[in-house]
Amino acid sequence: MEAEFWFDVLGAAAIEGILFGAVLGLLWSMGSKAVQWFLIGEFILLKWLESRGILIVDWERLTLGIVENSSRALEESLTFAQSFADLGAFGVSTAIGFYLVQKIRS
């Protein structure tokens, strides 16, 4: 009886994970396009305002901040990835669902 219980629990977690991963994959692909267009528009607007003398942007200081904080962001992403992998069946099935949606959309 215990084996059936664990099979039911893991099966449900796997199905939920695949569905969650598929939805996450769709949202990720839509969101990443929106973020790309937003960043491009923002960059064009900032450059236009800078060329008109309305705004002064210290680009060197901005990029230096990105370089200094990149190692901290990498460490945070690694701990997030480890936590995600520790979820077991749900984590694996979520990754599978995400991967399937990315393959289908490309």
> 9-26, pLDDT tens digit by residue?
666 667 777 777 788 788
Contacts of 23 (CB under 8 A, 6+ apart): 97
pLDDT score, position 73: 61
57: confidence class by pLDDT, cuts 50, 70, 90:
confident
Residue in the structure block whose two tokens are 């084996």? 3
Higher-pLDDT residue of 90, 18: 18
Identify the helix (H) or strand (E) that includes residue 12: helix 2-51
Q: Which residue has the tokens 């491009």?
A: 40
Domain boundaries, the chain: 2-105
**pLDDT at residue number 37:** 80
* Residues 98/25, Cβ–Cβ less than 8 Å: yes
State the pLDDT confidence band at 81, using cuts at 50, 70 and 90.
low
Angstrom distance (rounded) from CA 82 to CA 75: 11
